[in-house]
Amino acid sequence: LAVPGFIDLHVHVCGGGGEAGPGSRTPAPRGLSELLQAGLTCVVGVLGTDSVSRTQENLVAQVQGLNEDGITAYSWCGSYRLPPATITGSVQRELCLVASCLGVGEVAVSDHRGSAPTPADLLRLGLEARVGGMLSGKAGIVHCHMGPGAARLQPLRDALACGAGDLPVTAFHPTHMERSPELVADGAAWLADGGTLDLTCRWGAGLSSPSQCRAALRLYRDKGLPLEGVTVSTDSYGSLPVFDAQGRLVQYDVADPGAMLRFLRAMVMEEGWALEEVLPLMTRNPAARLKLERKGRIAVGCDADILLLEVRGQGRRAGAVCGRTASPGGMLVMQHAATGPSCPGTHPPRPCRRTLWPCSTWWLEARW
C-alpha cells in the first residue's frame, strides 16, 4: 500500500536535552536511515531547552546536510526562550533570508524552563512571524511548546486578546497538547475557536504517553471538532524529562522517531480508525499548516515522498521512499531533479544525480 511519507514538524535533528547537565545531552540522528526507517520523509528541525550548546547555525547546517542526503528538511528559528535566537538578527530577516526557516519554535509557554513570556511578548512575536511569513511566502507561525503549568493555553489567549483582533488564532500552533487531561480539554476549546494544535506521539518514559495522544483524538472526534487542524509529531531525539512537585529531575528518556509508525498502527489496529482518518494527521494536515504545497499527498506535480506499507497477518512492514522510483534489477533510484525540489527558493537547482540502494537494505525493513 503506497501512502504519502510522514511529515514530522518537531524533530531535534541536532539532538536535545541537557536538563541533567552536559552528560544528558541527547544525540542527533545517526544517519538518514533512522529517519527513513521511521517513515519520515520530511522533517522540521527544532531547538528546545538548550540554546547554548545547540545553536541556530548548528541547526541550519544539520538541516542542509539532511537535504543533501535526499530527505526534505526545514527548521524553526528560536528555542524555548525569548527573544528567539536567530542567525540574521530578527525573525523577519530569518524567514526571508534563511531558506529552511518556516517560523519560530519551539517557544516555551506555561513551562518553568521558558522565559515566562507576557501576552505582549507573544503578541509581538506572533506579529513579527506573521509579517515574515508574508514577505517570504512561508508559514510564518509560532510553534509553542506547552508545558505542565496551570496557565495552559491562557497566555496565548491573552496575547490574542491583547492584539484586539490584529493576530488570528492560527498564528500559534501549540504542541505537546496531549500532556494532561486538562490541556487536552483546553485544546478542544482552542480547536472550537478555529485554532490548530499538535499532539506528540512520543514513546518513552516522559510526561505523556501514546495512550494520551490517542485519548485526545478520541475526544476531539467525539466532540465533532475539525481534525483538519490537528497534527501529530514525534519530538524525536529530544529529551523526555520528568520533574517532581519540587521541580527536581527524577526521570529521563529520549524520544524515538519510530513512534509515528507505531502510533499509526495503534490507531488503525487497536482504536479501529480508518487509515484515511489517521494519515492526514501526519501528512496532509502538517503540509497545509506549514504551507508545503507539494507535500502530504500523492498526486501529479507533488514530491515523490512515498511510504510503502505491507500487511502480513497481524504484523506490518514499512519502507520510505524519498523522491525515488523503482528501477529494473531490484534497485531504487534516488534522483534530484535539475529543476530543484519542493519549495521555490528552498534549495538551489543542481544537476541530476543518482544513488542506488538494493531493495533489501534498511529502508524496506522498518517494522511496526
Residue 318 identity: A
CA–CA gap between residue 22 and residue 364 (Å, rounded): 36
CA–CA gap between residue 178 and residue 104 (Å, rounded): 21
Burial of 57 (0-12, 13-18, 19+ CB in 10 A): exposed
CA–CA gap between residue 332 and residue 364 (Å, rounded): 11
Q: Which of 8, 235, 256, 303 is catalytic?
A: 235
Residue 173: beta bridge partners?
143
CA–CA gap between residue 98 and residue 57 (Å, rounded): 11
How does 105-136 read in b/e, with b if 16+ C-beta sit within 10 Å? bbbbbbbebbbebebebbbbbbbbbbebbeeb
Task: Please report the DSSP string for 177-205 in residue order.
Answer: TTSSHHHHHHHHHHHHTT--EEEE---SS
Helix (H) or strand (E) holding 160: helix 154-162
Task: Please report the DSSP string for 98-149 in residue order.
Answer: -TTEEEEEEEEES-TTS----HHHHHHHHHHHHHHHHHHTS--EEEEEE-S-
235 given a catalytic annotation: yes
DSSP state of 323: S
How does 241-264 read in b/e, with b if 16+ C-beta sit within 10 Å? beeeeeeeeeebbbbbbbbbbbbb
**Which residues are marked as active site?**
235
